[in-house]
Chain A
Amino acid sequence: MRRLRSLILAGLVAVAAAAPAVASEEMEYPKNEWSHGGVTRGFSNIFGTFDRKALQRGFQVYKEVCSACHSMNLLSYRNLGALGYNEAEITAIAAGYDMTDGPNDEGEMFTRKGVPADHFKAPFANEKAAAAANGGKAPPDLSLIVKARKGGEDYLVALLTGFEEAPAGFALPSGGNYNKAFAGHVIAMPPPLSDGGVTFADGTKATVEQQAKDVATFLAWAAEPNLEARHQMGLKVMIFLLVLAGILYAAKRAVWADQH
């Protein structure tokens, strides 16, 4: 069995060694440090928690910039409690939006102020309207974007900071923008962030890179809001299982003591 095992291992190593030759064709993104460890990266930081300040700044970037075109349909204002806002603040944020509700007793739709239980207000009435207003393709919903793209947060940062002049000879179609991180390099979204485009309440300098990292943190939380609960419970479960495994191993040794 031992010989077989080493042979299998050798085979796997051979396959793994050859694999990068293919994988290198996929795009790689610079890896950033994330206090939460990265949602799509496995085993990255088992104690990771979200940076609350970054979350709030990221939410501000989303609110002031991204939300003009991108919906976040899976989130509700009540969820913002996880960012460190208190109930009054959340109620105030929600009340800043007019929601269509109804029909009322007369059968009419009506407008009311948003409440914490409301989902994030979408910029467009429906996907067709979003597509019509954006050159035929609706901007993707951002609720799960970090989990829905290979590279997760790192990809978003690379994308948001990846706008540049198209290299000479690159045929850029009209309405397209050159982005070095985007597959095919032609993206319909114009560069959304600019230095000082938002003003952070905590005094952090709003560079494009800072905004990109903050909004990526916020979107990582949006995609995986239970990450912290998961990490905390994981630790307890792992410790328990390892202790139980140890006890069972001792029990196994004791049972088998007279058979070896």
Chain B
Amino acid sequence: MAHGPSSSFKNPVVNWLDQRLPIFTMIQKEYGVFPTPRNFNYFWNFGAIAMIMLVTMIVSGIVLAMHYTPNTNLAFNSVERIMRDVNFGWLIRYIHMNGASFFFIAVYIHIFRGLYYGSYKKPRELLWMIGVVIFLLMMATAFMGYVLPWGQMSFWGATVITNLFSALPLVGQDIVTLLWGGFSVDNPTLNRFFALHYLLPFVITAVVFLHVAALHVTGSNNPYGVEPKGPQDTLPFHPYYTVKDSFGTVVYLAIFAAFVFYAPNFFGEADNYIPANPMVTPPHIVPEWYFLPYYAILKSVTFDITIPFTGLKLIEAKLGGVIAMFGSIAILFILPWLDTSPVRSARFRPLFKKGIFAFLVAFFLLMYVGAQTADAAWHLGGLEIPLVYVGQLATLVYFGFFLSLPFIGLIEKPLPLPASIAKPVLGGGASAAAGAAKPMEKA
């Protein structure tokens, strides 16, 4: 970035600075004139929105940390002191609490957009993988943050999730003891979780920079999934997308504010307003909503995996569940190589579109199943369907979607692609299929 000829600015102070440290040249290049596909829809707002949410979380979190006490005897009351006595403490705490949910909502939409429009494909594989790393870091940060108020859900969520590692053969229990710093979730655990919860957002920020840097090497994907062919296909980032992102962000913030001010406990659990009690488990432990799909996948593996006819246990159900849960995220890393189709956007991929719809339904089903008790069932006209089966089916669809991508790419007949962004052959009439089939563009 630093080697290009530096621009010349009217303001002499800016010029002086820029000749010594070309940040203004960089901003001008990366956010001013940066050529951006002209056909973004509002799905492309969510990267910027996610970034704003990250900043919101860091700012509100730093202020909260100034009032919070990471000690098992004091943590719960220190949070309540923030809520009751600290000036605007309730506001800052509710912003942080709901901000986590709205950060995840933005990121989920951002990920879905990447999935739908094939943004993970060549040449953006690394961009996608860095994104998955951000997602993982976010999950770790959110999990540890949820422990800090030291309510019942905090404590038992921490206990259940850290116990996942005990499923690992041989070293499992040692790892769990290491994570705890004791023989149960206790003060040492709370202290290290606080330290890490404060640290990880800055790691996330650093990885976000890598994410953006990688994005600016390849340029953005777009709803057609067709690379820009010339200046007629792109617009300078500023003012076109700065103003569009600003508008989208403010609308999003308005929805966020509605929850902060009028339904601040909507995403929360009543049990977390009860101080942690290591002697009493709440009847129904659920993680935060953004973990529910993975929690459901974990719960779906209820069987040992054995070698047929020998009765030899290969993988215990507990370990199987853990593998499936981590696998459900890990599979995103190899997604760019699973998908064999040269066409990016689902808009031109009829079969993939059906698949991604099935995946989405499965994802929401898993989210729903994850929130229910282990013995819950659907009663449909006398028929009882245990939700475990629903979860298992949804888990199959979840993995089935990814694992069928190589084959979908082979058998699918894509719709004709637009010749370029500026001249979409599909523009105009709604009867897209009737459009003259242009020679398909090959990668």
Contact = CB atoms under 8 A, between A and B. Distances in A.
Contact of B265 (A12, A21, A40): A40
A185 interface: no
A259 B80 contact: no
Contacts of B380: 18, 21
Contacts of A171: none
- 6 closest Cβ contacts across the A-B interface? A42-B263, A234-B261, A148-B273, A241-B254, A248-B247, A11-B361
B293 to A, nearest CB: 13
Given A11-B360, A231-B261, A255 B239 contact: yes
A242 interface: yes
Nearest to B261: A234
A74 B250 contact: no
15 contacts: A8-B360, A15-B364, A18-B380, A19-B368, A40-B270, A43-B262, A143-B80, A147-B270, A148-B270, A148-B274, A226-B83, A231-B261, A234-B258, A238-B254, A248-B247
Contacts of A11: 357, 360-361, 364
A241 B244 contact: no
B174 to A, nearest CB: 34
B235 to A, nearest CB: 7
Given A4-B353, A22-B387, A74-B77, A12 B364 contact: yes
Given A4-B357, A8-B357, A40-B270, 6 more contacts: A1-B41, A143-B80, A233-B261, A248-B246, A251-B247, A259-B38
A255 B250 CA distance: 17
A126 to B, nearest CB: 13
A144 B273 contact: yes
Interface string A11-38: 1100100110110010000000000000
Contacts of B378: 18, 21-22
B90 interface: yes
A147 B265 contact: yes
Given A11-B364, A149-B270, A225-B84, A251 B243 contact: yes
B314 interface: no
B365 interface: yes
Contact of A252 (B235, B247, B254, B387): B247
Interface string B246-278: 110011011001111111111000110110000
A237 interface: yes
B207 interface: no
B181 to A, nearest CB: 26
A245 interface: yes
A25 B239 CA distance: 54
B20 interface: no
B254 A245 contact: yes
B243 A42 contact: no
A237 B257 contact: yes
Interface string B366-381: 0010001000111110
B347 A230 contact: no
A235 B30 CA distance: 37
A235 B260 CA distance: 11
A198 to B, nearest CB: 27
Contact of A42 (B262, B271, B379): B262
B91 interface: yes
Given A4-B357, A249-B247, A255-B239, A241 B257 contact: yes
Interface of A: 1, 4, 7-8, 11-12, 15, 18-19, 21-22, 25, 39-40, 42-43, 46, 74, 79, 140, 143-144, 147-150, 223, 225-226, 229-231, 233-235, 237-238, 241-242, 244-245, 248-249, 251-252, 255-256, 259
B209 interface: no
Contacts of B90: 226, 229-230
A230 B261 contact: yes
A223 B379 contact: no
Interface of B: 38, 41, 77, 80, 83-84, 90-91, 94, 116, 235, 239-240, 243-244, 246-247, 250-251, 253-254, 257-266, 270-271, 273-274, 346-347, 353, 356-357, 360-361, 364-365, 368, 372, 376-380, 387
A242 B252 CA distance: 11
A144 B246 CA distance: 39
Q: Which of A8, A74, A231 has the most CB of B within 10 A?
A: A74
Contacts of B271: 148
A40 B250 CA distance: 26
Contact of B262 (A40, A46, A140, A255): A46
A249 B248 CA distance: 9
Contacts of B235: 259
B270 to A, nearest CB: 5
Contacts of A259: 38, 235, 240
A148 B356 CA distance: 39
A255 B236 CA distance: 12
A244 B250 contact: yes
A104 to B, nearest CB: 25
Contacts of A241: 250, 253-254, 257
Nearest to A151: B270
A25 B379 CA distance: 11
A23 to B, nearest CB: 9
Nearest to A141: B275
B254 A242 contact: yes
A182 B122 CA distance: 59
Contacts of A233: 91, 261
Contacts of B364: 11-12, 15
A4 B94 CA distance: 34
Contacts of B365: 15
Q: Which of B41, B235, B247, B361 has the most CB of A within 10 A?
A: B247
Given A15-B368, A226-B83, A21 B379 contact: yes
Contacts of A242: 254
B430 to A, nearest CB: 10
Contacts of A244: 250
A230 B91 contact: yes
Given A21-B379, A233-B261, A8 B361 contact: yes
A260 B379 CA distance: 52
Contacts of B357: 4, 7-8, 11
Given A42-B266, A252-B247, A223 B273 contact: yes
A244 B247 CA distance: 8
A96 B403 CA distance: 72
